[in-house]
């Protein structure tokens, strides 16, 4: 089975607020163990977390070997204060503070650095991403600082401007990447960045009632087009579901994400090998040096 290249052990796939209440005072070990068991049952032996502010992924990293899981964590994600990202990590105001966050992550045992460079999909306004993206120059400096400290960088990024800025900055993986265009995919293919499109975060919302399907379908179609282009151009792409997000279950979402690729590109050995090689890149780079 594929590994899970994007998960949040903190979140439970159903109720974010409840998950926070459960872990806020102190990470709930029973819940973390139950989550790791789901990966074990699904025969998923590699999990890369996207971080949380409560130390849940830090605890998961300590327990994961008991479940035969190679688990990698950034401990927390790093966002610029006033921009999206506080739900998964710690903030900074300037690059000096960003560097301090990187040093903190290192002290706490991070395997890599997770950064937030843009907001989320805006489901009320097709084609738009919430908030303002970080400036390309700032993203470049952030990635440089993290690399200098010996870390690979996982970047939460949506929208054409943000995606191009992240790729140019040399991020090691690009998470979500909704609303790219053909030029962005060409840049991706010419770079060392691995794209983790987290397709099921939108696909699993169909019929769930939270958003209208008519709003979701164009986003899904657009992602399908970009995934097909990425495959044609042989960009690096890996399977990661954002497990823990609403309607995205731990363990089994890995298969759902893989099946989404098969639906788009065909269920072939070429597709499987292509995705395995993307995962291999992530496994090699996102480890403590
Ligand atoms: Zn995530």
In the DSSP assignment, the letter for residue 126 is T
* pLDDT surpassing 90 at residue 126: no
Gap from CA of 247 to ligand 1 centroid (Å): 13
| 12 Cα–ligand 1 center, Å | 12
* CA 280 – ligand 1 centroid, Å: 20
The token duo for 116 is 């937030």
Run of H or E residues at 116: strand 113-116
| Cα 169 from Cα 151, distance rounded (Å) | 14
Cα–Cα distance for residue pair 132/114, rounded to 1 Å = 18
The DSSP 8-state label assigned to residue 133 in this structure reads P
Percent of the residues in the chain that have a pLDDT greater than 70, as a whole number: 100
Do the beta carbons of residue 157 and residue 176 sit within 8 Å? yes
How close is the Cα of 254 to the center of ligand 1, in Å?
14
pLDDT tens-digit profile of 4-35?
999 999 999 999 999 999 999 999 999 999 99
Tens of pLDDT along 136-172?
Answer: 999 999 999 999 999 999 999 999 999 999 999 999 9
59 vs 67: CA distance, rounded Å: 13
Tell how far the Cα of 175 is from the centroid of ligand 1, in angstroms: 8
For residue 124, what pLDDT band results from cuts at 50, 70 and 90? confident
Distance CA 57, CA 34 (A): 13
**Cα-to-centroid distance, 89 and ligand 1 (Å):** 11
- How are beta strands 113-116 and 153-157 bridged, if at all? parallel
- Which residues have CB under 8 Å from 41's CB, separation 6+? 251
Could you tell me the distance, in angstroms and rounded to a whole number, from the CA of residue 8 to the centre of ligand 1? 6
249, 132, 240: which is closest to 194 by C-alpha? 240
- Selection from 243, 268, 270, 246 nearest residue 255 by Cα: 243
Distance 84 CA to ligand 1 centre (A): 12
Cα of 75 to ligand 1 centre, how many Å? Answer: 13
Task: Give the predicted TM-score (pTM) of the model.
Answer: 0.97
Contact by Cβ (8 Å): 266, 228: no
Rounded-to-integer distance, Cα 171 and Cα 174, Å:
7
CA of 200 to the centre of ligand 1 (A): 12
Ligand 1 mean position, distance from CA 51 (Å)? 8
- Express each pLDDT in 35-83 by its tens digit: 999 999 999 999 999 999 999 999 999 999 999 999 999 999 999 999 9
- Contact status, residue 153 vs residue 191, Cβ threshold 8 Å: no
Q: Determine the distance separating the centroid of ligand 1 and the alpha carbon of 145, expressed in angstroms.
A: 22
Cα 85 to ligand 1 centroid, rounded to whole Å: 10
């Amino acid at each position: 089975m594929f590994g899970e290249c994007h998960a949040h052990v903190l979140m439970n796939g159903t109720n974010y607020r409840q998950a926070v209440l459960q872990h806020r005072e102190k990470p709930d070990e029973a819940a973390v163990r139950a989550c790791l068991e789901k990966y074990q049952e699904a025969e998923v032996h590699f999990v890369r977390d996207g971080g949380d502010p409560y130390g849940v992924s830090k605890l998961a990293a300590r327990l994961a070997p008991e479940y035969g899981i190679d688990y990698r964590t950034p401990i927390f994600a790093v966002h610029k204060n006033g921009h999206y990202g506080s739900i998964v990590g710690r903030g900074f105001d300037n690059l000096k503070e960003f560097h301090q966050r990187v040093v903190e992550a290192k002290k706490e045992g991070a395997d890599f650095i997770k950064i937030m460079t843009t907001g989320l999909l805006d489901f009320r306004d097709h084609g738009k991403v919430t908030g303002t993206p970080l400036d390309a120059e700032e993203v470049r400096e952030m990635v440089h600082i993290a690399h200098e400290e010996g870390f690979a960088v996982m970047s939460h990024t949506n929208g054409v401007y943000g995606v191009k800025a992240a790729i140019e900055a040399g991020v090691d993986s690009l998470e979500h990447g909704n609303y790219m265009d053909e030029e962005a995919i060409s840049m991706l293919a010419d770079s060392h960045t691995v794209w983790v499109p987290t397709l099921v975060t939108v696909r699993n919302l169909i019929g769930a009632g939270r958003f209208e399907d008519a709003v979701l379908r164009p986003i899904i179609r657009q992602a399908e087009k970009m995934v097909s282009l990425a495959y044609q151009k042989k960009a690096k792409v890996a399977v990661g579901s954002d497990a823990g997000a609403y309607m995205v279950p731990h363990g089994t979402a890995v298969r759902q994400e893989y099946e989404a690729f098969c639906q788009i590109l065909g269920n072939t050995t070429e597709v499987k090998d292509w995705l395995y090689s993307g995962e291999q890149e992530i496994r090699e780079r996102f480890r403590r040096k």
